[in-house]
Structures are given as C-alpha cells and as structure tokens.
Structure 1
C-alpha cells in the first residue's frame, strides 16, 4: 500500500495577535490656547489613539506657566506616580524660550528636567514656530510677534486657536523641517538658547506616534 509523500515545512499555527501594553505619556504645557488644542488634536489621531497605543494626558496650567514652574510640577507628578506605582511611562513639559526677552529660569528648568528624567519639547522663540513648520520651511531668526504674524498668515486662523485637522495632516512634514533645523544649528555650533528658530515638539510627536 502506497503512502503519499509527507510535506515538510513550518507547521500551520494560528497567529495570535499580541496587543502591546499601552504607554502612558503625561504632558505638562502652558495654559495658552494653541498648545493644549494642538495636543488634544494629536491625542485624537488614530496613529496615537490606536496604532501606537498611547494614553496621552494633557495637564494645563494657566497660572504658573513659566518653564521652571512647569518642570517642578512635572517632577512632583512623576515622583507621586513612582511612589504609587502608577503606570506613567513618560512625562513631558512643553514650553517656549520667548524673544526678545527669554523666559527666566530656562537653564534651571532644563537641568531639573534632566536630573529627574522629564522630557522637554522647547520651541524657540515660541510654539507658533512649530505651527508655521506645518506649512513652510523657516530658517531665519524671529521674535514672538513675528512668529505669531507668520503663523496667522499661514493658517488664517487669527487668534481662534488650532484647527486640528489642518495641522494633523502635515505633522510629518513639520517633523522633518524641525529635525532639519536642529541639524543646522548643530552643524553651525549654535547652542540653546540661541538656536532660534527651532522646535523640539517633533520629539514629542515622534514619541507618541
């Protein structure tokens, strides 16, 4: 009685989908309109909500919004989560340098953040520069007022806040432009806080996408 030739190869097994554990990211930002509205729009994006499995929490602080105050609040929150074994994977602070007069305590804020493992996304001169990069490349120095005028000319929003759909579609482009600005400053030997224009927001966007 003949026997059929046995087929060799990998056994057929049903692939079991493995769901990655959610990563919890807490973001402390200034209480102005643009920053929290942009972050809320980012939080709703499928790449953030579903694919990357990120629990993005946004802490607004309208009163104490100076960088050093924000970092101190972030450190306290991280310490509390560590003591309570809370599932917080990353804590971020989003703030500006400000020109023509820089925020006070910038260097101290960065040193404190580094010491306690707080990530920072700093825009120079201000967050509006990050918004501008969604529409166009910009490599010339500018102050706060110029950055805000440029932003208004790009999105036509005036002071109405951030239209999430408009910005989310271009965040990858903005990320590439911000990364190019960072490389430009490094090649030219320009260091913080003189790296105007620049925005570390692309690091945060990359971390949660």
Structure 2
C-alpha cells in the first residue's frame, strides 16, 4: 500500500514528533506585542538554556500590537491553537501576554482581561492554567536598561532608548542578541526590577515597572 504523504498526514507526524520531544516541565506560551525584539529575546533564552521548543512557544501578536490585541490573541491561540504552526488547542499550562504601557489606550483593559482569565481556562489535561500579563512601563527596553542603571523615576520610552544606546551602541528594535549582550548583568537587573516591583506595579504608571523579570526567572530556572 502506498504511503500517505498528504499535507495533513505530514502535519500529524510533525506534531507527534514534537509531542515526543516535550520535557517534563510546564508548557509555556508567550505572546508578545513586538514582532521581533521580544520574540528574539525569549527565543535567545530558550536556546541558551536548551529548553524544548515543544514546551516553550514564543509568538508575536498576529492581529496587532495594542495590548488588548495581545491578550486576546494569546487567549485565542491557547483555545484554538494554530495548525499551520503545529500549535495544538489548550496545549499549555502557562500563558503570558507581553506588552508595553507606552501610550496605548487599551493598556488597562488588557491588564483587566488577563487578570479575568487567570485560573479560569482549562488545558488539554483539564487543569486550570496560569494566564498573566507581563507589562513594562514605559517599554520592554526598561528591562534592558536596568542591566546598566538603577532607574527609580518615570522615564519616557524615548529617554529609555537614548540611555540604553549609551550602554549598547547601535541598539535598535529587532536586535537578535539582546540577551547575549546583557546576560552578564542579569542578576543586578533582576534585583533592580524587584526593587521597582516592591514600590510600583503595572497599574501605577507612569512609575517605572517591568514584569519581564518574572518571565526571565521562570525560563532560566526550568529543568527537564
């Protein structure tokens, strides 16, 4: 009998291989506002710590970069999956929506929606999942800047970028080696981010804040 080499059959076999490569730790879905900078950063961490791609899925927000779109897409990707990307329905224990405060009108709505979904959705193992907004005020680049400076007061995103470029000449959106460049200062950045989180939150904008540290700590401590 001839082998079935149809696209559907090939996709099924690819999924079976991917499932076979899963590690014992939680399956994590990360959906980001940025189309390059944040996905590149988290994929760098995934590669540096040799995390299974079947366990850590990183995707930019397909509908757009508004915070509410990021959260809505993260929910849709979790609930419906994406057969073109071999992402199965409800195949995660943790879902993270990564976005910036910037000047987005839907910022607080996105925070509220993410909070309302946390512990309410069930995965393919019938477990309630973690659904969390990973927000930065004013932007993701604050997290990178904390590797070099102890920021305590509000900064506009343009000022964050200006200062960051003093430490990383040539830095721009979409770089693919931000983790490698900043990694040696990771411990101090985490301490500074925690200091900000002790005083402020995602809801106290324009005070500086970033929850990126939570996701970085999770990814850098996963074990097979």
What TM-score comes out, normalization by structure 1 length? 0.76
Equivalent residue for 2:116?
Answer: 115
Tell me: CA distance 1:136–1:62, structure 2 relative to 1, closer, same or farther (3 Å): farther
Equivalent residue for 2:96, pick from 78, 92, 114: 92
1:78-128 deviations in Å (ceiling 9; x for gaps): 2236xx764311010110001xxx211112111111111221111100111
1:42/1:168 contact within 8 Å kept: no
Per the alignment, residue 45 of structure 1 pairs with 48
Partners of 1:24 and 1:90 within 8 A in 2: yes
Q: Are the equivalent residues in 1 in contact too, given 2:77–2:89 (CA < 8 A)? A: no
Aligned residue runs from structure 1 range 1-209, under 5 A: 21-46=24-49, 49=51, 55-61=55-61, 64-80=64-80, 86-98=90-102, 102-117=103-118, 118-159=131-172, 161-163=175-177, 164-185=179-200, 192-209=203-220
Q: Point out where structure 2 has 5 or more consecutive residues left out of the alignment.
A: 1-22, 82-87, 119-130
Partner of 1:6: none
Shift of the 138–56 alpha-carbon distance from structure 1 to 2, 3 Å rule, reads same
Q: 1:159-189 CA distances to partner (integer Å, 9 max, x unpaired)?
A: 2725231123322321111010111337xxx
Gaps of 5+ in 1: 1-19
The size of the alignment, in residue pairs, is 179
Give the TM-score normalised by structure 2.
0.71
My pick for the range that moved more, 168-177 or 69-78, is 168-177
Structure possessing the higher radius of gyration over alpha carbons: 1
* SS at 1:122 equivalent: strand
Using a 3 Å threshold, how does the CA distance of structure 1 residues 116 and 63 change in structure 2: closer, same or farther?
A: closer
Once the two structures are TM-superposed, the CA of residue 200 in structure 1 deviates from its matched residue by 0.7
